Amino acid sequence: MTSPLHAAISGAASVGLGVGAALLFEGAGMPLPWMLGPLFLFAMLSLTGMGPTGRGKGLRLGLPVGLRVVFVPVIGVMIGARITPDIATEVARWWPSLLIVVPYMVVVQLINAAILRRLGGYDRPTAFFAASPGGLVEAVLIGEANGGNGPLMSMQHFARLTLSVSVIPLLLSLEMGQPVGVVPPDDSLASGIEGIFDVLLMAAAGVAGVYLGRGLHIPAAIMLGPLLLSAIIHATGMTEAQIPDALLKAAQLVIGTTLGARFAGPSTRDLLRGLGLAVLALGFSLSVALGLAVMTAGLGLAEAEVAFIAFAPGGLIEMGLIAIALDADPVFVATHHVMRIGLAVTIAPWLYRMLHARPRG
């Protein structure tokens, strides 16, 4: 059993190393340094046996998984804080791109399932639900209910998510000609919260939103619940406060660190195979997302970069955090990812049964 002193030393060392990696990436001009720096560092530590699940007797580095649960509602509040009173008009304009999410989700799911089935040798339910372009937890649970291999599906989704978080900022940096997601020290968010009322109001939105989301049994409840309540208090003009830059960096650090630590679970062979398959599947998914982003920009619904993040097959939490860091209309991005997760939870099981139902008699 890990002693409290050992856990405290490990946590302090992990935070220090994560901050160091973020500063190193920032100094090197890398995109989204406060997420990608810790992610790559702790991925390497996990692969060398120094991650939180390592078997050796040395110091186990990594942050508690529960800390991610604390910062996910913060991301929801951040996105909700970007909502203005004219949000209803904006959402009404987005219906064409929201409709596009339906065929996008179906095509990506079927092609990626074929990649995992034929090239990866996965069984049918595992390949199908591991190919889901969103809703990691929900897809794995539904896949297990249909006979899929839970650990294998989890690993494949993790590989997709990690590659998405790493590749998308790099692609956007190449497109824009400069590192994206590097927030200057004097960013206006740093002085966004004014007064104890605003602090208490946004904290209440985060805490109450978690309970609301869980009570309603919605996907990604601990993020969408706070997002909804934060949206309400900002859309109604109760507050115009924003989350300060320091908290944004802390959220990126925690998400990056906990993502990197997940490399400690699968065997090296399974992980390499999963990453290889994820490269192929992600390449196809991003190609489709790029085409849809250009189409969406042509319709005047959003800038191409914003639409690309909205259609990219990353997680709601991670893509939302990238959108916040890039100031890439996080509300537009989150709305489309919520739509995709909802489809993954509702349409995917029906589609699987329709395609693979066994004839009676």
pLDDT tens digits, 314-355: 878 888 888 887 888 889 999 998 888 888 777 888 888 888
Which pLDDT score is estimated for 54? Answer: 53
* CA–CA dist 337, 321 (Å, integer): 12
Structure-token pair, residue 137: 């937890």
Question: What integer best gives the mean pLDDT of the chain?
Answer: 83
User: Is the pLDDT score of 290 beyond 90?
Assistant: yes
pLDDT above 90 covers what percent of the chain? 28
Top mean-pLDDT range of 86-90, 224-228, 289-293: 289-293
- Stretch 258-278: mean pLDDT, rounded? 80
Q: Write b or e for each residue in 299-309: b if 16 or more Cβ atoms lie within 10 A of its Cβ, otherwise e.
A: eebbeebbbbb
pLDDT tens digits, 65-124: 778 888 888 888 988 888 877 777 778 889 999 999 999 999 999 999 999 999 999 999
* CA–CA dist 274, 196 (Å, integer): 48
Question: 197 versus 228: which is more confidently predicted?
Answer: 228
Q: What is the pTM of this model?
A: 0.78
- Stretch 36-41: mean pLDDT, rounded? 89
Cα separation values, 190 from 69, 158, 246, 298, 356, Å: 23, 32, 7, 34, 53
Cα separation values, 244 from 76, 82, 187, 188, Å: 14, 13, 9, 8
Asked if 226 and 273 count as a contact pair (C-beta separation under 8 A), the reply is: no
